[in-house]
C-alpha cells in the first residue's frame, strides 16, 4: 500500500496516533509506533516559550529516545510566538511541527487558541504563515470541521492551509461546539479531501480495524488518526494495518506479551516523570489496559491506590502471572477470535474461572519475582 508522504518523510503506515494532552507522552508514542503507528504527535505544548521551563512543558518537549519521527504540537494564537516556538522546536531536533486548531478545551479556547482560532480565518492565515516561514521542516495542521454547525469552515481553512504550505492536515470530524458528542461528519472530511492535494487524515471515534476501513472509504482520506481507541491497547495499530493490507485480524498479544508490554510501559513512565508523578500517570494508563482485560477490576482497584513504583510493578507482574495460570488466558484467547465488529472484547467472566482463581493465586504468589 502507498503510504502518505509529509515533506521528505515517507510514513511507514497511514494510521497515526492523535495528540492527546496528558496521554501521548514519549513512552506511549514509542509504544504505539512499536505497534505500527505511522506517526505519533506529542501532546500540545504552549507556543509561549517563556513557559517552557515548567516541568510539564519539559516533559512535553522530550525528543531524545523517540523511536520514529519527532513531531511536536504547539498551541497558541500569537503569530510572533508561534514563529519563535517553531524555530525553537526545529532547534530541538523535531522532524515536523504540528499546529493545534482542534482542541476544544475551555482553558485553551479562552486564549483564542486551539479550535477557537477557526472563528478568525485572518488570524489562522497569519499563524500558519508565521510557522511555515520560520522553519525549514514540514508544518502540519490539526483542525475540527469548524467552530459550530452554522460555521463549518473546515474546507476553506484546509484550502488556505495548503496554499500557505502546510504539509498535511488532520481533521477531527466535529465542530468545536459538538465537543466529543455529535456523530463524526465524514462528508465534511470528504469535502476537505476533495479540495486539497496534501495528505488528509480523518479523525474521530475510530476504535476498530473495521471502522478505520469504513472511514477511509467514506472520506477518501489518505489515512486515519486514532486517539482514545489506542488507550489501553496500543496493539490496535497492528490490527488496523493488518486488516487494511491483508484483510486479516491478528491475535492481540498473549497474556505474557501484554504483561511485558505493560511492565515496560510503566517503567518508562516512572523513568520519564520520576516516581511521584510517574506513579500517578501510570494509574491512568493501567486503568485503560484494564478496560480490555476481563476480570481486572480488583487488580485495577488495588493498583490505583499504590504509591510506589516498585509496588505498581510487583502487583502487575503478580496479576498477569495469575491470569496466565487461570482461565482468563483461555478467555482472552477466545476473545481474539471474537466478532469482527468488536475486534478485541474479553468475554464475560465464567464461574469456572472464579472457582479456580483462589487456588491458582496461591501458586502464582510463590513463583513471583520481587521488584523492590
Ligand X SMILES: Cc1cc2nc3c(=O)[nH]c(=O)nc-3n(C[C@H](O)[C@H](O)[C@H](O)COP(=O)(O)O)c2cc1C
* Catalytic residue IDs: 103
Cβ proximity to ligand X: between 13 and 316 the closer is 13
Task: List contacts with ligand X (CB under 6 A).
Answer: 18-23, 43-44, 73, 100, 102-103, 142, 172, 203-206, 226-229
Helix (H) or strand (E) holding 88: helix 79-91
Using alpha carbons, select from 16, 65, 25, 17 the residue that is nearest to residue 282. Answer: 25
Compute the least distance from the CB of residue 239 to ligand X, in Å.
15
Cβ proximity to ligand X: between 117 and 364 the closer is 117
Per the CB < 8 A criterion, the answer to whether 24 and 42 are in contact is yes
Q: State the Cα torsion 45-47-53-56 to the nearest 10°.
A: -20
Compute the least distance from the CB of residue 45 to ligand X, in Å.
9
Compute the least distance from the CB of residue 236 to ligand X, in Å.
10
Cβ proximity to ligand X: between 42 and 335 the closer is 42
Kindly give the pairing relationship between strand 5-6 and strand 9-10: antiparallel
Cβ proximity to ligand X: between 226 and 293 the closer is 226
Residues listed for the chain: 372
Residue 156: count of CB within 10 angstroms of its CB? 15
Beta strands in the chain (DSSP E): 5-6, 9-10, 15-17, 39-46, 71-75, 96-101, 139-146, 169-175, 200-203, 223-226
- Give the three cell numbers for residue 184: 463524526
Closest residue to ligand X, judged by C-beta, is: 227
Compute the least distance from the CB of residue 100 to ligand X, in Å.
4
Amino acid at each position: 500500500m502507498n503510504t502518505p508522504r509529509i515533506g521528505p518523510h515517507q510514513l511507514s503506515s497511514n494510521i497515526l496516533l492523535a495528540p492527546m494532552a496528558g496521554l501521548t507522552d514519549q513512552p506511549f508514542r514509542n509504544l504505539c509506533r512499536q505497534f505500527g503507528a505511522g506517526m505519533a504527535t506529542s501532546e500540545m505544548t504552549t507556543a509561549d516559550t517563556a513557559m517552557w521551563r515548567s516541568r510539564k512543558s519539559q516533559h512535553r518537549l522530550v525528543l531524545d529516545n523517540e523511536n520514529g519521527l519527532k513531531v511536536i504540537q504547539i498551541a497558541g494564537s500569537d503569530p510572533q510566538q508561534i514563529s519563535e516556538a517553531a524555530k525553537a522546536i526545529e532547534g530541538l531536533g523535531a522532524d515536523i511541527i504540528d499546529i493545534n486548531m482542534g482542541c476544544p478545551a475551555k482553558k485553551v479556547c479562552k486564549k483564542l487558541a486551539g479550535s477557537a482560532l477557526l472563528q478568525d480565518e485572518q488570524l489562522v492565515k497569519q499563524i500558519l504563515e508565521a510557522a511555515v516561514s520560520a522553519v525549514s521542516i514540514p508544518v502540519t495542521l490539526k483542525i475540527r470541521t469548524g467552530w459550530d454547525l452554522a460555521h463549518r469552515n473546515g474546507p476553506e481553512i484546509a484550502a488556505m492551509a495548503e496554499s500557505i504550505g502546510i504539509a498535511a492536515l488532520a481533521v477531527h470530524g466535529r465542530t468545536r461546539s459538538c465537543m466529543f458528542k455529535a456523530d463524526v461528519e465524514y462528508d465534511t472530511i470528504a469535502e476537505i479531501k476533495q479540495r486539497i492535494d496534501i495528505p488528509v487524515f480523518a479523525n474521530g471515534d475510530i476504535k476498530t480495524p473495521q471502522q478505520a476501513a469504513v472511514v477511509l472509504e467514506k472520506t477518501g482520506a489518505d489515512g486515519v488518526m486514532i486517539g482514545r481507541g489506542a488507550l489501553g491497547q496500543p496493539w490496535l495499530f497492528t490490527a488496523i494495518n493488518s486488516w487494511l493490507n491483508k484483510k486479516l485480524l491478528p491475535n492481540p498479544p498473549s497474556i505474557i506479551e501484554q504483561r511485558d508490554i505493560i511492565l515496560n510501559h510503566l517503567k518508562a513512565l516512572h523513568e520519564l516523570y520520576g516516581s511521584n508523578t510517574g506513579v500517578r500517570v501510570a494509574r491512568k494508563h493501567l486503568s485503560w489496559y484494564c478496560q480490555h482485560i476481563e476480570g481486572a477490576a480488583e487488580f485495577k482497584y488495588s493498583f490505583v491506590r499504590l504509591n510506589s513504583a516498585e509496588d505498581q510493578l510487583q502487583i502487575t507482574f503478580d496479576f498477569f502471572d495469575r491470569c496466565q495460570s487461570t482461565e482468563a488466558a483461555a478467555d482472552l484467547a477466545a476473545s481474539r477470535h471474537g466478532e469482527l465488529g468488536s475486534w478485541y472484547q474479553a468475554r464475560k467472566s465464567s464461574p469456572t474461572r472464579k472457582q479456580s482463581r483462589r487456588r491458582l493465586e496461591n501458586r502464582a504468589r510463590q513463583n513471583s519475582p520481587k521488584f523492590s
